[in-house]
A and B are shown apart, each in its own frame.
Chain A
Amino acid sequence: MAEAKPLILIVDDDETASHMLEMALLEVGYEVATAENGALGLQKGSESHPALVMLDYQMPDTDGVSVLQKMRTEAWGKDVPVIFMTNAYEVNVMNLVMELGVHDYILKSDVRIEETVKLVSSYVPAPLPAA
């Protein structure tokens, strides 16, 4: 009787980072969905009801802040934990998304992938132990 694996949704236009994160999350037993832009992220979110969203800030169509604002008005995204990711350190953006209720904020270039996975598991426990 296998329990359903928690689904993590990664919304990031950087395919390499997104793919690496997906790989690392799959290894500790999560299910992963990815979206390479904000609109697709919102669509996949409403279809799949993820347990946690990893949301990139700078994306070409809709930026992470807009996605966050939109998802917070929808049933699936109202309370879901969000880890906000960025590659540029901006205090204003950080303050803004903290107000919008993100659970964590990471500067991608500053964290190892293993730390990122650990951060995810602190909100949604990983089904498998880390290698």
Chain B
Amino acid sequence: MVRIAAATKALKLLPAGPPKSNLELTNAWRRIITVLCIGVVIGAGLLYAADRAYREILIARIETLADAVDGQKAASLRLPETAEGDRNYTYFKAKLASIKRANRDLRFVYMMGRAGQDDIYFLADSEKPGSVGFSPRGEDYPEASGQMREAFDTGRTFIEGPSHDSYGFWLSAIAPLRNEATGQIVALVGIDVPASFYFMLLTIAGGLPVLVAGLISGIIWLRAKGRQRLAQGQHFQAEMVSVASHELRTPLTGLRWTQENLLAQKLTKKQKELVGSMYESTLQLQENIEDILQLASKDVGIADRLHSAPTDLRSIIDSVIKTQQLAADTRRIRIILQGEWPQAIRLDADPMHLKRAFNNLVSNAVKYSADGSEVELVYANDHSCHLVTIIDHGIGIPDSEQARTFKGFYRASNAIGSHTPGTGMGLYMTRNIVTGHGGRLWFTSTTRGDKHGTTIFVQLPKHKTR
């Protein structure tokens, strides 16, 4: 109960940093509007192209038809009626009806004449005499368009419609017929086609890109919402890790500082051993908690959380050795600096994370060392890098398992057998910290002979490389 209350309190203390979810949705809207605009533009283009193509096809059809009609014969149909005209009327009635039969999509096939400048009348059509659509020879067609009247003068083939009447929507294709001998336009031949296919074509051509754009927009929106939810989830997770960090570390700090104060007192050998072993367990507990916290926040990416500043690696190493030595004392293990170590080792780094990394490495070395042995730290450098080598004479990592060492939750089989505690996250995390600094971490290890043990190499750039 108390802990929950404390955690709630701590949660209230957290700085409210909302995830970038609104930005995500704003960006999604921008993309959706762009995609829809592109869809509409492509749709309009295809609509125009489909309309043009369909009209071209109708023009080609009526021109082919007109070519097959004898213009001179057609001229004889004109009023006033003549004997030749009457004969030819029967011929054209049959011809137009057969054209209609052969082209099932045609509603009417007809021939028109002009009297004077403006009066348009039927010369012949494809319909049976007496049927609803039938127009007798000579019947006026007052609905004739200006375009139709002018075609007798211009000789232009043209398309009309879509227009609407009692038969529904339709398109008309009309071509002039010439008397081949005189070159004079003597009649027009026309076909009426229901507009249903034309409308379907335009709907598909214009609508499909808009539909696809709509679908893409939907996907963009859903993905943005998904990312927003993920970001909110990650934000919540980060908050929880932060609360957990505070709540777990606070009592640990108290515990550790109390033991450190106690170790600084005048104690008997036995007392010192007891407190030292308590301290060792506390450090282990702290390491495990840090590993778990690190794991819980690992998808945030350690590199994003490093805070580089001018740092002294030497003081970090000294502090790590002092801390770990307090625990190592109980097993008479000595942690020593070998070779030349400068008074200060300058680099750009995140001191807290770097300290954690070295704490992990040295604590590992101590953990797997034999009682009474030594853990050695060696320093070297070149113009761009520092190299710290940590050598232990412990149990080593079996050859067959070395490749898996840096994976999370991995512990070597002989480490598990040695009854030493650990989560198996230490090396994984440590390597993330080192690589997050632009450095490298590698090791050599042997489990056999007198030279058994592990040597870890930590290479860190002197200056920030990111």
Contact = CB atoms under 8 A, between A and B. Distances in A.
Co-assembled chains A and B: yes
Interface of A: 14, 16-17, 20-21, 23-24, 27, 58-60, 63, 87-95, 107-115, 131
A58 B247 CA distance: 10
Give the secondary structure class of A's interface.
Answer: helix
Contacts, number: 83
B249 A109 contact: yes
Contact of A92 (B15, B258, B323, B352): B15
A17 B319 contact: no
Contacts of B252: 109
B348 interface: no
A87 B261 contact: no
B257 A113 contact: yes
Given A88-B242, A90-B15, A113-B261, 19 more contacts: A14-B253, A20-B257, A24-B264, A58-B10, A87-B245, A88-B245, A88-B249, A89-B352, A91-B305, A108-B250, A109-B249, A109-B286, A112-B256, A112-B319, A113-B256, A113-B260, A114-B260, A114-B322, A115-B319
A63 B245 CA distance: 16
A93 B17 CA distance: 12
Nearest to B322: A112
Interface string B264-283: 10000000000000000000
B31 interface: no
A110 B261 contact: no
Nearest to A85: B253
Nearest to A87: B249
A23 B250 contact: no
B13 interface: yes
B250 A131 contact: no
Contact of B323 (A24, A95, A108, A112): A112
Contacts of A112: 256-257, 260, 319, 322-323
Given A23-B261, A58-B13, A114-B264, A17 B246 contact: no
Contacts of B305: 89, 91
A16 B282 CA distance: 15
A13 B104 CA distance: 93
Contacts of B15: 90, 92-93
B261 A20 contact: yes
Contacts of A113: 256-257, 260-261
Nearest to B6: A60
A88 B307 CA distance: 14
Interface string B9-47: 110010101000000000000000000000000000000
B250 A14 contact: yes
